[in-house]
Structure formats: C-alpha cells, structure tokens
Homo-oligomer: A and B are copies of this chain.
C-alpha cells in the first residue's frame, strides 16, 4: 500500500533514462510503500521498463512528457519554450500534490527556475537555496547552503538560509541543536563584506538559532559547524575547488610514485581505496542536493550521476518527504519571523 508518491524526471542527466530506471528498480524493493511516477518520453521509457520487467509494476505509473530539457538549455528559454518537459511535468505533480517529492538529474539552472516558478517559495521565504550534506571529520555530516541557486544574496536571505538549514539538520541529520556558522574570509568580527556582517548581526540576535560565528574555509570539513551558510557564488566555488584539489592530488600521487614493484602494487591498491573514499567526499556526485524553501521536496541529482547516485537522491527525497521537511521549515520560519516582529 503506497503511502508516499514520488515523481522522477526520467529524462534529465548526462547518461539518459537508463540510469533512472536502474535506480528505480532498486528503489522499488527498498521502499515498498512508495509509488513512483516516472515522467518522460513514453517511446523511450517503455522498452527500458520492459527490459527490467517493470512495465506493469503496481508501484509504477508512466507519465508521458513530450519535451526534454537539455543540459545546455538556458533556464529562461526552457521555462518559456518547454512547458511539457519531463522536468516541468514532474514538478507540477508536486505542485498539485499528486506527488510529495520530485527527483531530477537535469540542468541545475533550469530545475531551479522551474521549481521556483512552479512550486513557489514557502510563506515568508525570500529565495529557495541549494543545500547539500558535506563530510566532516570523524565521519559526521554538515549541511552547506547555498551552493549555486543564488549568486547574490542580501542579509535577510542568508539569515533565512541559516534558519532553513538548521531545521533541515535537525530533521534529517537528527542533530538536537544544530550549530550554525557563516562562511567568511576571517573569524574576526571585522572581516568580510557588509552582507556577511549584517547577516551575523541577524543570526546573533535570533534566539531560535545556535549561531557560533564566522568560520573560514579551512573549517569547512572540521566538524566545527552543523550548518554552513554562504551565498551561492561562494558556496559553488568553495566545493568545486575542493573537487579540483582532489583531482590534483590523485594526479600527483599517480605521477610521483616510481618505486619498487611491491610499493607500486600497494600504492595501486591504496589508490583505489583513496578514490573510493574520495567519491564519498564528492557529495554532489553521490547524494542529491536539496532545493529547500519551496512548497514541496525537490532533489537535484548530479548530472553525471550513475544508478547508485540517483538511488541516493531518491532515498533523500523519501526521507525529506516522510519528515515533511517543507512543512517543518514553514513552521520554523513562521516562528522565527514572528519573534523578529
């Protein structure tokens, strides 16, 4: 008996719908209580479902959409010119409450624009934010936001990101009182730009937030904070720079090790281990990013996602939908905004 319905944009991502259908096959057994609406080109999806013997599966509904948003479509263009795209139809299933959540590996800019347009923000929320879990020392996780939905933010917006992130960390990461920090170029109060300083004042003044102050980039993974707030420009560049560094380190290890064959052999083994552990360190590859602050759950899976990664994004959508994260955020924001008046 289905208690939750999820809409899957089957056409997004670099690797096409086969990745989505493989992830779906796994999700069916993991989540027997979830119903899946698979949105996309029927002619393309039918044989894929048939291959996996899922065509008449009771947990699956196939919903045709005649258009597909490409990875290079500009957000405004796709919004105007592709009203029947699989992405848009999946989002509308959430907007009209047929589905509780939507997962897409499609074009990030288009997804954000369409989600904002279709679902709207929660009452009082200025902007939705792209949020992801990032690894911390001792195997913990923290939420970081915004990661690219908003290249420019004012202090009210960043303050709300702190409130939303704290509620999400409480609900999803199960942290009783999440410690909220602002990412800055120094820990001293005088450092940074005017927006960051004004946001610090707002967070400091709110009784509903455990604000711990500024943190610098070198504390992004140290476990100091449970929620790390920044604008989308800084957040995107910080995490992508880390990806770049991981690539450089692998390159460096590969090219510098010229030693005894026994060492090389161990290095090879170790290198595979490193790569594996670094996959885990690239959260946008192997977990979905949440677009929060909207009237519904929207999970962005990485465009390059394989079936395992898309399955992680589905898992995250189920978790957020079951906990009604949008409802919890709405309540929390209402409470905080009322206290400010």
Chain B CB within 8 A of A263 CB: yes
Q: B218, A241: Cβ atoms under 8 Å?
A: yes
Chain B CB within 8 A of A247 CB: yes
Output the nearest chain B residue to A267 by Cβ-Cβ distance.
B270
Question: What 1/0 flags go to A193-236 for Cβ under 8 Å of B?
Answer: 11000000000000000000000111111100000001011101
Q: B281, A270: Cβ atoms under 8 Å?
A: no
Interface size class of A (residues with CB under 8 A): 35 or more
**Given the known A-B contacts A249-B249, A270-B270, A281-B249, are A185 and B217 also in contact in the complex, defined by CB atoms under 8 Å?**
no
Copies of this protein, total: 2
What does DSSP make chain A's interface, helix, strand, loop or mixed?
A: helix
CA distance A220 to B217 in the complex (A): 15
**Given the known A-B contacts A151-B193, A193-B152, are A242 and B245 also in contact in the complex, defined by CB atoms under 8 Å?**
yes
Q: A244, B220: Cβ atoms under 8 Å?
A: yes
Q: A222, B237: Cβ atoms under 8 Å?
A: no
Q: A278, B251: Cβ atoms under 8 Å?
A: no
Set of chain B residues within 8 Å of A255, measured between Cβ atoms:
138-139
Question: What 1/0 flags go to A251-287 for Cβ under 8 Å of B?
Answer: 1110111000001001101100110011001000000
Q: A residues within 8 Å of B by Cβ?
A: 74, 109, 135-139, 148, 151-152, 183-186, 188, 190-194, 216-222, 230, 232-234, 236-249, 251-253, 255-257, 263, 266-267, 269-270, 273-274, 277-278, 281
Query: What are 10 pairs between A and B in contact, CB < 8 Å?
Result: A135-B252, A139-B255, A152-B194, A216-B237, A217-B237, A218-B241, A220-B241, A221-B245, A234-B237, A249-B281
